[in-house]
Every structure is written in C-alpha cells, then in structure tokens.
Structure 1
C-alpha cells in the first residue's frame, strides 16, 4: 500500500487537472449540442453530429448513426471532478462523502480573534466519533459548485432525500444530500459503484500508467492515504492528522503515511560522508584496467578441486594454499569422494612417517588430517548424513518383485 501511495502522490495534481479538463470537454460538447435546435447538425472538432429530435434528451447521432448521450457524459464527468476534489481536500472515505449533506456545513467563531471559519462536519464511518474538517477556499468553491448543481431551480432549495444505509440496514431520515442526482425524474443518492466508474473514465481520458505500463488506477480510498501522506509531509503533526482522518489509533494513521524515513536516510548519508573522510582518498578513484582484471581474476581463482575458497579480495592466504586446513574452504558435496581419498592418503603418510621416524612431518600431516575430517563432517551435516549408493533400478516380474519385497520386509522385522 505504501508503494501504491508513492506511485500516485507525484501524479495527483496531473489526475486532478485531468478530471477538470475531462469535465470541461464534455461541458463544451453539451453546450454545443444545446446551442442548436432538435434535428440540426453541428460540428465538434472534426466530428459531425445530428441532434435528436427529442428536445428533452441531450443526445446526438454521429456520422455512423451511433447515439451519443452528451447529457449523461457531462453528468458523469462533473461528479468525477467533484468526487476527486472533495476526497483530496478532506481525506474522507467514500461512504462519508456520499452521506454529506447541506447541514454538514457549519460555522465556528474563534474564541481568541472572533473570526468565523467554515467547517465541514463528517458523520462517523468506522468509529462512533464524528469529526470536523476545516473548509479551505478550494473546498468551499467545490461545495458551492455542487450546491448550485443539486439545487432545485424552482425553489432554490436542496431536495430532501432519504437514503438507505447498507451497513446499518436502515433508512436514514430525509436530508439535503450533496451527492444526489435526478434519475429520470426521481431523486436518488449516488452509489460508490457510480463514483468508481466515473473515476475510471477520467483515467481512460488521461491514460496514466505505472512503472510496469499498467493503468494507474485511482480508487476512492487512495485519496485518504494521499491526504494523510501529503499532510504529514507538509508538517502537520501525526496526532492532528489522526483526528482529521477519524482514526481511533495513531498507528493506523502512521500506516497510511507513505513517507520514506528521511531521518534514517539523512543519518546514513552523514555516516557514509564521515567514513569517506577517514578512508584513503585513493580508494575512491576509478580503478585501472589492470586492477579490474585482477579483481575479476580473483573470483575465477576461488574455484578449487574440492570446493570454493571464500577468501576476500585483496587478502593473502594464511595457510599458504594448504586449502584442506583452511576454515574458509567451502567444500563441494559432489567432491566428498575426493576428500575421502585425501583422508586415506594422509593416514598412509602418517603411518609411513611414524615408521621412518619423521616426527616433524607427523605434526603437519595430523593438522591436514583434522582439516580433511572437518570438511567431510561439514558435508555430511549439511546433507543430512552420508550419501548411500542405491544402485540402478531393474525391472522384475510382478510375482518376483512381490516375493522379494515380502522377504525383505520379513528380514527387516527379524533384525528389529
């Protein structure tokens, strides 16, 4: 979710402008249609349309005879723009947005200066604690535009609408909801599916994509995460953002916050800078071709007959290439047989040294013998035990295989 927020925050303003341009385009198309009488021909760009003869519907047919509903398209574009503006300025959830009414707009007089500030009262959604959001000038302009859109042109009042609460499973009392529309002469509250579909049309209009080339979908709840992230990044204290978002736990608010840990990053950068001042300057120069070839050759020379040497680049071999003694040798399980041969050869050499009286030779051979045994034990412990050769399977008649299996089982029981 943090990555999802980080991908959408840089293009939020682009998406907001796209929503406004999308509505402006459909509004201009609708005005061009209403400017001509029913049945008349009009042009939008290079496309030619013929307005339908029904004056009550804002529709037109294109050159191919396809009916285009200009009124519905403008209606969907407007509410997509309104939803984007409302959600990004309030950080509200989509359920809270759809329940906002005209009564939620209140005024508050500051006790210190007496200044009156507008507030928006948001009904509780996840918790039982309502909250208020300061209405910014941008949000006030959006709310005023919505009210002008919803207001009854005859009475000037907002129609009262009783909406059904699907979570509480009750009908709410009639209230002047802001997100309502006239659907064929019947007033109804907008649904979350309608808002999501309208946002998808804005996305198709602008064509935003993520780093993988897939469409960068904006869900309604993304705006809540974007609101909190942008607020905390701009200096708002997290506990204030918690109250604005209506979270019961501040850990939930910080979970919405998708800001990179700047303090950790800056402290790490300062540590690297201090470390570079202590190290020789020649270590930060560009390596020569010879140095680079020597570096690559180091990794090629790490491959041994019985495994791989884990010695770091630029360090000398402390065992003078007596690899079976070295703790940095990572034995290859496939070379266990070779190590067993080396172990047996060392035993023979120790026997010979004891017979000939080579006391100085005996001590070195015993160190190598302990190293070889250690590598064999290391292979056995990592593989779960000594490898057993089961031989090649052979196909036997069914009756013979059954007899052999029964005899083997009986023999195993007798041994137990």
Structure 2
C-alpha cells in the first residue's frame, strides 16, 4: 500500500537523540587532551623580549615578511595590554578575540588603527601567527581552525620542529606530502602544536581526539581528515594500545547502555521508561547487540513513544480497546517525508513490512511481564495487564507466503539476465580503465580523445594516489574523475563475480581477508584444493567454500589490486555495523585507498557501485522499469541455480550456512515448468518399475472385457465402486454396502425400498420374527444412509456450474454390451 498525502495533522514524531557510544567515551576518558597551563617561560616575558624572539625566529625569512610579522605582533601586544593578566596567554584568554570565532578581528583592528598604527587586518593576523609560532600565546584549536593561514604549516615546520616534520614526511606515501591531502594533514598537526605547545613527538591521542571533535562541530567533514593521525601513529608517537584510526569515531560510536538506547526516544512517562529499561536489562544477556537495539526501538519508539504522541498523559500498560486498535492500525503503515523540487514536503505512506514482528515483540513483552510476576511479584506484578495483541493477529503463514512469492519472483526475473549483468560489469570496467589510462598519459591541461569523446585534464592536480588527481572536463564542461570511476567499476565487477560464485552475504564478503584463502590436500590423490574460509556472520558458524577457477581469477585480481609496494596486503581496521565494535586490523581483500590511507569498503559504497553498473547495463523488468539488484539477490540466485543443476538441498544448506534446510528451500525459487517436468519424471520412473507387458496395446477382447466390467457394476439404485478385477464380497447386499455410489435419479426407487422395509419390520415385530427384525433393520439403516448421500449430492449439484466435462461413456473409444446372463 502506497499513498501520498499532505502533511499529517497528527502530532509530529519527536526527534531521535543522537548519542556517542561507550567506545568513544572510553577513549576520551583513557586519552584526555593536554591542558594549556596558565604560564610558561615564553609567555611571561615583556613585549621587547617577544619582538627580539620574533626577529631571531624569522631571521631567515624575507625582510618584508619579517617586518610584517614584527609590526603586527607589536600592535597585537599593545592591544592585549588593555586586559587583565600577568602573562600574554592570560591577557589573550581575557580578550574577546579568543572567544570570537568569526573571520574578522573584533575590537583589535579598529582599536589599532585608531590608537596605534593604521595597518590592515592581514598584518595583525600575521603578527598573531608569529606570536603563536614563538609560543608566546596558544590560541584555542577552534580559533585556529576558523583562521587557518596557508603559511601556518610551513612556518611551524621550519621554526618549531623541523626534525619532527622531516620524520613525518618519510612516513607519508609517495606523492602525498605535497598533495592536497598531505597539506591538510600537516595543517592538523600544526594546529595541535600551536594550540597545545611542544613538538610533534609531544602530541597525544587525546589532542587528536579533541581536534577531530572540534572539527566535526565547526567544519564540514571530508576525505582525508584522519590522515594526520595515521602519520603520527606510524611515527610511533602514540602508545601501542592507541586506536588504529580516528575515522568515523563520532558517527560509529560503538555500543551504548540500555538506558541510552531507551532515552534516545525521550519518553515522557518516567515509570514506563524505567520498566522498559528493566525489561531490556533482563533480556540483554540472551541477545546480541543488534537484537537488543532493535528490541529497544520496537518497545520505546514504535510502541510507547507512538502512544504518547497520540494520547498525551498515558501512564498505564492497560490499554483501552480503542487505543490498542488505533495503535495496531498505525503500526501497519509507515510514513516518510519527501522533499519536492519546489522545496515543499509531502508524506508518503507505505506498508510496514515488519508489522507482524513488531506486534509479536509487544505481545512477548506483555507475556514476559506476566510470567516474571509469578517469580518476582514485587517487581513485575504492578505492570501485569492484558496484551493488546492477540495470538490470532499474528498470521505468520500468510506473511511468509507473501515474502516467499516476492522473493521467488525477484529470482525468476533476475536469474535469466545475470549473464547480461556479468558481461556489462566486465565491459564497464574495461571502458573505465581505457579512459583512466588515457587521462593519466595526458599532460595537465592537455586535451585528449578516448572512446569517441574529447576530454581536457585539469592543470593542477593536487590530490594524492592518482585517484582524485586524475580529473578531467568533458566536452560539456562537466567535471569527471576517471580515477574514482575506474575504482568503483572494478569493485562493482568484483562484487558481482564474488557474490555469484559464492552465494555469501554481503557482510561476509566484506570480512574476507587474505588469511581466508587456504588449501586442502586430498589424502587419496595428494591434489591441492583451494578453499575460501567464510567468517561467522549470522549463524556464528564458519564454513569453507571450494574455490572454482572463475572465483580464483577474481581473488587474484583483487589481491593484485590491493597489494602495496612491498607486495603485501595492508592491514586495515573495519567496523562491525551490527555489533557496533571495531575489529582488529586485518588484511581485508575488499579495501581501497582513499584520503591518503587504506580503508575497508563499506556496504554503501558497494551498493552505489552496483547501481552504477545496473544503470550502465540498462536492464529492465517485464513492465519496462529499471531492474535493480540487491546483494542478497545473488545469494538467492546462487542457491536456486545450484539446486536446479542437481546439487542436493542438504549440501546447498551447508554451503549457504543455514541452520535449517527449510531456510535453504525458501531461498530456492520454484518454477511452474520445473514442477511439471518433475511430475512427468516421477511418472516415468513409476512406469519403469512396473512390468512392461502392462503397457502393450490391449486386444479387442481385453478392451471389451474392461468396458464390460464397468457395465456389470450397474445396479438399480446406483453404481458399485469396487476396484477393477475384483468380485463382490458382500453377496450383492448393495443397500448395506459402503461401496455403492447411489444415483440421485433413482431416489424414488430407494424411497420405495425404505418404505417397504418399514412395513416388513412392522410385520416381523408383530409375528415375532426377531431375526428378520434385526436383518431388515440393518438394511433400513443402509437405505437411510444412501438417501442422505443422494440429498447431499443433489444440494452440491445446485451450487455448482456445469463445465461440459464429458462422461466416461462419451470419451470411450469403443463400447460393448454387457452379457446379461452373467448378472451383476
């Protein structure tokens, strides 16, 4: 169900609070940033000494540069003398400049031009930078980030710690130091030195954490912002237990407590909030973190927060019938806001696929509280209430059938066109490589032609790794980065090939490392068989897959691509998005170099690259709409194709890593033609086991005898239903026999027989013939039973529609006349 409406009139859903995980908080506690002291020798000297220090510090600079910094510092100190403090740092902290993050210089510039020296703000900024480089003042990192000078990294490297920066340059990858990424990383390090003092070797993990947090709050995030930390760690400035990277520590925040999970949804009723926290705490030991987070979302957001929005002041789990009914109606749909081209918003309502699961969670919540109240009445009994969700409302079979039908339809649409997608992915990669190589061969600013189109390479590539630097303009002036395009095309090709040859889940694919490739020697022949080890994912059971020659080619191409100059696969640290934990550094195969460092490829990147390949292939479904592939579609296609080609389902279960074979069979799509062929094969196998003489052409005498058998089974009130070739074992007592199929057209005859039996029983009772009474009574019961069958058959015939189906006599090729002398 999908509908588009105007903005809803019900209360808007409250914002879900963002939070930082326990992992990030633990790092902040374990690695606090350095504090800036109130005084140190350089900041406690007088103004003349400061000017002498600047002359000595910049003695090798150009005369004009040296004078500009000296003049700017002299006027800044004149202004700072107006504020309280015994040191220049104290006066700086008491001035409005330290707390003002705008790019201009409030109070400082106007005061200097009015009372001291009519100089521009640029000279004053140069003076502040000179004082910071001389360690006279230590501005806040926020102030430095908003007023970053392009000369800062060079001045700090030359005047504060030339040896430290030389060591960092040796750790940088070739071509990165002077590229834009390298300049950005040097700015980060220079900012920390100016804000905290000391040299490169004095920088701590806490300083880096603080800078990344401030940068996340004050500036837009971008690529390569954690490269400076990688350089410092490679320089062994940090302790061995320091984090491997600062990448995404704000967004990928790690696990949080149960209280923080619930408090994201800002529940108003404190007792119910505490109850949900207690319930989740009780369930936590038996759940993984992903399940715990999903359970908290169902209980706190989809259940109680929804009730509070529509029924303010609610404070009891005992829901009135109308409240429970309204909530169940709302939970069956979900609404999202979509921005229109004109800037307005509309609400799109769709069916919630997980509605049955949410209802089941709420029912289990009520039932668990009722059961626990027996063991701990003081804790749970006050909250016992009837469940608003009845067992009859949890129709899993219908939901499962619908899901199975949708999955089978997706597989039937995508399996036949998989070769086309494979060919398109290979062709896209070849074209991307051709463009990339042509762009790399062209000189900066030169125009070149490739694949029938003209491009112009940018004049000053400043990025690193030959990826972002390989940027061109097409004939329409649009900017194209061939390095990134070739990168995504390769990983799209690798994804398609890897998934279709292994059938693994996408999270398992991204966790495959160089260590996962192993081998097994057959004990009988000594043949070496390559194997691929799949790490535990959903079922916590690791498994081994046989590496086919096609898969071996893919693995070889990936390894050749990710190897570094030393010939080894770099170690990278990945983040488990399910359990919200960082994995130890491993030589992952699905990694690439971006932002000046090696990073694992995310699911989002894989899906985007796959979508680009689908757009390139131009695949459509039977309605003409673009055909999309999800990574999990390859898993269903793999299982379906394997079983259809003769792989036993229980072997497919082991390869797929399913706990239950029924799960494997749900993945396997059913084809109508497949069912027909299987039935025909079954009949053929049954025929092959019977005597061949049964399938010879019957003689005329045999055919007449066969047809005559059915004619001889006809009696006055119906037809005998005994099997062909058998004789009557009831001595023709047809009214009593359960094999008699009465004919509704002979009902009048059976009524006469019944009435006659009634009269004869009355006569036998009058004359005292007890044997006849019993015998005629049994026959009378049989007659009544046959009458009931006739009436039921007549009632059904009135409700049915005649389809013109021929009878046996109509379709028989030949007929015969029964021998009346033999009897029936």
Q: Same fold (TM over 0.5)?
A: yes
User: Which of 144, 165, 180 is equivalent to 2:576?
Assistant: 165
* C-alpha separation in 2, matches of 1:193 and 1:58: 23
What's 2:453 paired with?
47
What's 1:17 paired with?
423
SS in 2 for 1:133: strand
Q: Structure 1 residues 222, 267: closer, same or farther in 2, change over 3 A?
A: closer
User: Which of 654, 665, 688 is equivalent to 1:243?
Assistant: 654
Aligned-pair distance for 1:184? 1.5
Q: Structure 1 residues 265, 71: closer, same or farther in 2, change over 3 A?
A: same
Q: Structure 1 residues 262, 157: closer, same or farther in 2, change over 3 A?
A: same
SS in 1 for 2:520: strand
Q: Structure 1 residues 247, 50: closer, same or farther in 2, change over 3 A?
A: same
Aligned-pair distance for 1:267? 6.6
* C-alpha separation in 2, matches of 1:266 and 1:177: 45
* C-alpha separation in 2, matches of 1:187 and 1:54: 24
SS in 2 for 1:156: coil
* C-alpha separation in 1, matches of 2:530 and 2:641: 22
SS in 1 for 2:411: helix
User: Which of 593, 598, 601 is equivalent to 1:187?
Assistant: 598
Structure 2: stretches of 5+ with no match in the other structure: 1-406, 464-468, 688-696, 699-743, 746-794, 799-824
Q: Is the aligned partner of 1:99 residue 2:511?
A: yes
Q: Is the aligned partner of 1:26 residue 2:432?
A: yes
Aligned-pair distance for 1:166? 1.5
User: Which of 659, 671, 677 is equivalent to 1:260?
Assistant: 671
Which gives a bigger RCO, structure 1 or 2 (Cα 8 Å, sep 6+)?
A: 1
What's 2:521 paired with?
109
Q: Is the aligned partner of 1:148 residue 2:583?
A: no
Aligned-pair distance for 1:235? 0.9
Q: Structure 1 residues 262, 52: closer, same or farther in 2, change over 3 A?
A: same
The 5-angstrom pairing of residues 184-333 of structure 1 reads: 184-260=595-671, 264-266=675-677
Give the RMSD, CA atoms, in angstroms.
2.7
Q: Is the aligned partner of 1:72 residue 2:478?
A: no
Aligned-pair distance for 1:157? 0.7
Q: Note if contact 1:120-1:133 (Cα within 8 Å) is conserved in structure 2.
A: yes
Q: Structure 1 residues 122, 39: closer, same or farther in 2, change over 3 A?
A: same
Q: Is the aligned partner of 1:61 residue 2:467?
A: no
Q: Note if contact 2:425-2:492 (Cα within 8 Å) is conserved in structure 1.
A: yes
The count of aligned residue pairs is 281
* C-alpha separation in 2, matches of 1:263 and 1:5: 14
Aligned-pair distance for 1:186? 2.0
* C-alpha separation in 1, matches of 2:603 and 2:420: 23
What's 2:531 paired with?
119
SS in 2 for 1:181: strand
Q: Structure 1 residues 252, 34: closer, same or farther in 2, change over 3 A?
A: same
Q: Structure 1 residues 271, 75: closer, same or farther in 2, change over 3 A?
A: closer
Q: Note if contact 2:411-2:637 (Cα within 8 Å) is conserved in structure 1.
A: yes
Aligned-pair distance for 1:204? 0.6
Q: Structure 1 residues 269, 143: closer, same or farther in 2, change over 3 A?
A: closer
Q: Structure 1 residues 259, 151: closer, same or farther in 2, change over 3 A?
A: same
* C-alpha separation in 2, matches of 1:214 and 1:241: 32
Q: Note if contact 2:533-2:544 (Cα within 8 Å) is conserved in structure 1.
A: yes
SS in 2 for 1:229: helix
* C-alpha separation in 2, matches of 1:233 and 1:272: 19
SS in 2 for 1:211: coil
Aligned-pair distance for 1:76? 0.5
Q: Note if contact 1:233-1:259 (Cα within 8 Å) is conserved in structure 2.
A: no
Aligned-pair distance for 1:134? 0.3
The normalised TM-score by structure 2 is: 0.33
Q: Structure 1 residues 238, 261: closer, same or farther in 2, change over 3 A?
A: farther
* C-alpha separation in 2, matches of 1:120 and 1:271: 37
* C-alpha separation in 1, matches of 2:643 and 2:667: 10
Aligned-pair distance for 1:261? 6.1
* C-alpha separation in 1, matches of 2:570 and 2:522: 32
Q: Structure 1 residues 113, 233: closer, same or farther in 2, change over 3 A?
A: same
Aligned-pair distance for 1:262? 5.8
User: Which of 437, 444, 447 is equivalent to 1:38?
Assistant: 444
Q: Note if contact 1:42-1:49 (Cα within 8 Å) is conserved in structure 2.
A: yes
Q: Output one character per residue of 1:129-151: Cα deviation in whole Å (capped at 9) or x when no partner.
A: 10010001110110010011100
* C-alpha separation in 2, matches of 1:241 and 1:105: 21
Q: Note if contact 2:435-2:451 (Cα within 8 Å) is conserved in structure 1.
A: no
SS in 2 for 1:235: coil
SS in 1 for 2:449: strand
What's 1:358 paired with?
none
Q: Which moved more, 1:74-83 or 1:48-57?
A: 48-57
Aligned-pair distance for 1:112? 1.7
Aligned-pair distance for 1:120? 0.2
Aligned-pair distance for 1:64? 2.6
Q: Note if contact 2:572-2:588 (Cα within 8 Å) is conserved in structure 1.
A: yes
Q: Output one character per residue of 1:352-395: Cα deviation in whole Å (capped at 9) or x when no partner.
A: xxxxxxxxxxxxxxxxxxxxxxx9xx9xxxxxxxxxxxxxxxxx
Q: Structure 1 residues 112, 267: closer, same or farther in 2, change over 3 A?
A: closer
Q: Output one character per residue of 1:38-80: Cα deviation in whole Å (capped at 9) or x when no partner.
A: 1111012442111112345001112232211111000000000
SS in 2 for 1:108: strand
Q: Structure 1 residues 268, 99: closer, same or farther in 2, change over 3 A?
A: closer
Tell which structure's C-alpha radius of gyration is larger: 2
SS in 2 for 1:141: helix
